[in-house]
Structure 1
Amino acid sequence: MIEVKDLQKSFGEAHILKGITTTFEKGKTNLIIGQSGSGKTVFLKCLLGLFDYEEGSIAYDGHIFSKLTEDEKRNMRAKIGMVFQGSALFDSMTIAENVMFPLQMFTKQSKSEMQDRVDFVLKRVNLPDAHNKMPSEASGGMQKRVAIARAIVNKPRYLFCDEPNSGLDPKTAIVIDNLIKEITEEYQITTVINSHDMNSVMEIGEKIVFLKDGLKAWEGSKETIFRTDNEVVTDFVYSSNLFKKVRKMYLEENS
């Protein structure tokens, strides 16, 4: 579990995060959503330890990150997996080398142990024969699966995903959503996803935090988001006619 209390972050005179308090639960897909400029990317980078913040705290399973020593912070980072928006694979490395990179960085495993782990995670993301391919030879969907394999290769407790469906067609996006949800449940990871994709929200949003102008405007689940009367949320979520129809059907069926 990740617990956030009264988180505040500014850049100069620009107050970006204005006292966010929430929790992200273990074994669930936790989504951060909001319009551009809402603060969700800054929030994610604070959670990752990439940005310092002026007020508040972030605790990973009870350990407040800002109070850890440098060695303790390094050990904590070894427990974090990250799926970047553009996959961020190393072009000069094979897929297997990309996936092995965190093991080389954070562990003292033997080469054979690392190879066994790489074999396992590539098989888990349905890429059992992709070891020797270069990233340029892989489709967008394959690259995302490689990025997920790399993110989980070190058996993380926490998984962060920044717009994991960016640039993917709807069918492939569903595959990636389902893969992330399956891995989260299978390994009981605390997964936090920064997303603007409402399909993802409705598909896998077990916990949803909606940001507006640096504030937490609403939180709930994909079920409760159908029933909320919060106008800020409904204006964002149901801006398309499709989701308006889905919501209407849901409310009629559950009235």
Structure 2
Amino acid sequence: MIVAENVHKSFGDSHILKGISTVFEKGKTNLIIGQSGSGKTVFLKSLLGLFTPEEGSISYDGKIYLNLQKDDQRKLRQKMGMVFQGSALFDSMTVEENVMFPLKMFSNKSRAEMKERVDFVLNRVNLVDAHHKYPSEISGGMQKRVAIARAIVNKPKYLFCDEPNSGLDPNTAMVIDNLIKEITEEYNITTVINTHDMNSVMEIGEKIVFLKNGYKEWEGTKHEIFKTDNEAVTNFVYSSELFKKVRQMYLEERA
């Protein structure tokens, strides 16, 4: 579980995060949504420990990050897995080498043990024959699955995903969404996803935090988002005619 309490973050005269408080629960897919400039990327990087809030606190299973000694902060960061927007794979490394990289950096496993773990996670993301291929030789969807495998290879307690569906077609995006959700539940990870993809919201949004101008404007589930009267949320989520129709159908079914 990750708890943010009254988090403020500024850069110079720009006050980006303005007192955000929320809870991201273990074993659930927690989504951060909002327009460009809403603060969601800064919030995600603050959760990762890359940015330090000027006010407020962020705690991980009861441990406040800023209260930890440097060595304990480093150990905590090792329990975090990250899926970057562009996958961020090393072009000069094979799929197997990319996934093995965190094990070489942060574990004392033997080569055989690392190979066994890499085989396991690649099989878990349904990539059984891609070990010796390079990123340029596989599709965008396969690259995302490699990125997920790399993020979970060290058995993280916390998984962060920055726009994991960016650049993917709708069908592949749905596969990635479902894979992240399955892994979250299977390993009881606290997963936080930064996204603008409304399909992800409707498919896997067990907890949704909507940011606007640095404030937490709304939070709830994918079911509650259909019922909210918050104008900022409805304007953002239902900007397309498709989602307006989906919401109307949802409300009519429950009338």
The TM-score normalised by the length of structure 2 is 0.99
- Once residues 139 and 49 of structure 1 are traced to their aligned partners in structure 2, the CA distance between those partners, rounded to angstroms, is 31
- Once residues 167 and 13 of structure 1 are traced to their aligned partners in structure 2, the CA distance between those partners, rounded to angstroms, is 33
- Once residues 20 and 143 of structure 1 are traced to their aligned partners in structure 2, the CA distance between those partners, rounded to angstroms, is 33
| Moved segments of 4+, more than 4 Å | none
Q: Give the secondary-structure state (helix, strand or coil) at the position aligned to 1:57.
A: strand
RMSD: 0.4
2:60 maps to what in 1? Answer: 60
Q: Which amino acid aligns with 2:13?
A: E
Q: Give the secondary-structure state (helix, strand or coil) at the position aligned to 1:45.
A: helix
Aligned 1:188-227 pairs, distance under 5 A: 188-227=188-227
1:73 maps to what in 2? Answer: 73
1:74: how far off? 1.1
Q: Give the secondary-structure state (helix, strand or coil) at the position aligned to 1:117.
A: helix
- Once residues 42 and 127 of structure 1 are traced to their aligned partners in structure 2, the CA distance between those partners, rounded to angstroms, is 32
Aligned 1:175-190 pairs, distance under 5 A: 175-190=175-190
Residue 109 in structure 1 maps to residue 109 in structure 2: yes
- Once residues 102 and 72 of structure 2 are traced to their aligned partners in structure 1, the CA distance between those partners, rounded to angstroms, is 17
Q: Which amino acid aligns with 1:40?
A: K
- Once residues 73 and 150 of structure 1 are traced to their aligned partners in structure 2, the CA distance between those partners, rounded to angstroms, is 21
2:153 maps to what in 1? Answer: 153
String of CA shifts for 1:179-223, please: whole Å, max 9, x gaps.
000000000000000000000000000000000000000000000
- Once residues 254 and 97 of structure 1 are traced to their aligned partners in structure 2, the CA distance between those partners, rounded to angstroms, is 51
2:251 maps to what in 1? Answer: 251
- Once residues 254 and 185 of structure 2 are traced to their aligned partners in structure 1, the CA distance between those partners, rounded to angstroms, is 27
Q: Which amino acid aligns with 2:142?
A: M
1:127 maps to what in 2? Answer: 127
String of CA shifts for 1:151-183, please: whole Å, max 9, x gaps.
000000000000000000000000000000000
Aligned length: 255
Q: Give the secondary-structure state (helix, strand or coil) at the position aligned to 1:184.
A: helix
1:63: how far off? 0.5
2:20 maps to what in 1? Answer: 20
Q: Give the secondary-structure state (helix, strand or coil) at the position aligned to 1:179.
A: helix
Q: Which amino acid aligns with 1:196?
A: H
Q: Give the secondary-structure state (helix, strand or coil) at the position aligned to 2:202.
A: helix
Q: Which amino acid aligns with 1:32?
A: I
2:143 maps to what in 1? Answer: 143
Q: Give the secondary-structure state (helix, strand or coil) at the position aligned to 1:7.
A: strand
- Once residues 105 and 78 of structure 2 are traced to their aligned partners in structure 1, the CA distance between those partners, rounded to angstroms, is 9
Q: Mind listing any 5+ residue stretches in structure 2 that lack a counterpart?
A: none
1:37 maps to what in 2? Answer: 37
1:30: how far off? 0.1
- Once residues 250 and 62 of structure 2 are traced to their aligned partners in structure 1, the CA distance between those partners, rounded to angstroms, is 38
